[in-house]
Amino acid sequence: MAKLEIVKFEQISLEGHTDYTEKWVQDIIADDPSILGLGDLMLKDKERIQHKAGILDFLLQEPEMNQRYEVEVQLGKTDESHIIRTLEYWDIERKRYPQYDHIAVIVAEDITSRFFNVIGLFNGFIPLIAIQMKALKNGDQISLDFTTILDQGNLGLIDDDDDQPVVDSSYWEKRGTKTTVSMAVSLVEIIKSFDPDFEPKYNKYYIGLAKNGLAKNFATFHPQKNAMRLSIRLKKSDDINHRIEHAGLDLIDYTKSGRYRIRLLKTDMERHADFLKEILKQSYTEMMG
């Protein structure tokens, strides 16, 4: 085996650099948003003008979910104005497009302890992700490394939907079909077989679960025209991955909030009823204890 050469990279500061500017960083992110480590996101808009508020660096969107990310990039250290600007853009976008879940994202070279003190004031009520960016250089080569050091992207988005607009089954039959809605109902019936107090809760953005009137969304359902997307909270494991693959189910991904997302066809409901019941019960047990 050939001996690998160890290459040492020197960390450099981009703040004030004449060649590696903020625009240079923005162009790299725009070309491949996945570099941020937030998943396979698509670029919805760049340098998005906010009325009477400024310019948002990036608006990114999760293609398979009603989820958008308002991203601000800062060279050097985070400061209070950067935090406020990021949250202001997030607030503008969520009010303008309430049909999406919105997550604020701060990207900076140096995320200071003062940043965490300020964020602590919000007590987790604002979904926020902080990503530290490092520029590493070796000769003529340079690399950008992005590390998530604060991830509150899943807070208040799926497990507590008391503020979600309530709809009914006919709303989802129009967005999906009667068949795909019936698939969601069938999965709820499976859940009721081991806990009869559960009922489907028809929210505007997904069909959730309620027990005695309270949201308990260890699984959610999103009927589409040709399939039904199941999002189920489970600890990630090689065993679950293998069994999903062995069953031939269409695994979309495993989300940062700890959920498997599976695309189900009508035939899957019949062929894999036992397996679906098993993972639903496992998720239920993990959540309910």
Q: Are residues 40 and 144 in the same domain?
A: yes
- Whether 158 maps to a domain, the answer reads no
Which residues make Cβ contacts (< 8 Å) with residue 31, sequence separation at least 6?
none
| Owning domain of residue 29 | 10-151
pLDDT in tens, 227-269: 999 999 898 889 999 988 888 899 988 876 688 889 999 999 9
- Whether 2 maps to a domain, the answer reads no
1-7: average pLDDT? 71
Considering the chain, what percentage of its residues have pLDDT values greater than 90?
29
Q: Could you give phi then psi for residue 112, rounded to 5 degrees?
A: -85, 170
What pairing do the DSSP bridges indicate for beta strands 128-138 and 10-12? antiparallel
Q: Are residues 147 and 176 in the same domain?
A: no
Of 92, 124, 151, at which residue does a domain stop?
A: 151
Q: Are residues 74 and 139 in the same domain?
A: yes
Do 259 and 67 touch, CB atoms closer than 8 A?
A: no
Structure tokens at 243: 């069994």
CATH number, domain of 246, equals 3.90.1150.20
Radius of gyration of the chain (CA): 22
pLDDT in tens, 157-201: 444 454 556 789 999 999 889 999 999 999 999 999 999 999 999
What is the pTM for the complete model shown? 0.54
Residue 154: pLDDT band (50, 70, 90) is: very low
For the purposes of burial, counting CB atoms within 10 Å of the CB of 31, is it exposed (0-12), middle (13-18) or buried (19 or more)? exposed
Beta bridge partners of 98: none
Q: Are residues 143 and 107 in the same domain?
A: yes
Q: Is the dihedral of CA 19, 108, 132, 32 positive or negative?
A: negative
Beta bridge partners of 108: 74, 132
Q: Are residues 177 and 241 in the same domain?
A: yes
- Whether 162 maps to a domain, the answer reads no
Q: Are residues 144 and 208 in the same domain?
A: no
- Name the domain count of the chain: 2
CATH number, domain of 129, equals 3.40.1350.10
More confident residue, 115 or 242: 242
Three state DSSP letters for 20-39 = CCHHHHHHHHHHCHHHHCCC
- What interhelical angle do 273-288 and 238-247 show, nearest 10? 160
Q: Are residues 210 and 275 in the same domain?
A: yes
- The per-residue pLDDT for 160 is 46
Q: Are residues 252 and 182 in the same domain?
A: yes
Q: Are residues 144 and 174 in the same domain?
A: no
Distance CA 116, CA 145 (A): 21
DSSP string, the chain: -PPPPP---EEE--TT-SSS-HHHHHHHHHH-GGGGSS-S-EEEEEEEEETTTEEEEEEEEETTTTEEEEEEEEEEE--HHHHHHHHHHHHHHHHH-TTSEEEEEEEEEE--HHHHHHHHTTTT-S-EEEEEEEEEEETTEEEEEEEEEEE-TTTTTSS--TTSPB--HHHHHHHS-HHHHHHHHHHHHHHHTT-TTEEEEEBSS-EEEEETTEE--SEEEEE-SS-EEEEEE----HHHHHHHHHHT-EEEEE-TTSEEEEEE-HHHHHHTHHHHHHHHHHHHHHHH-
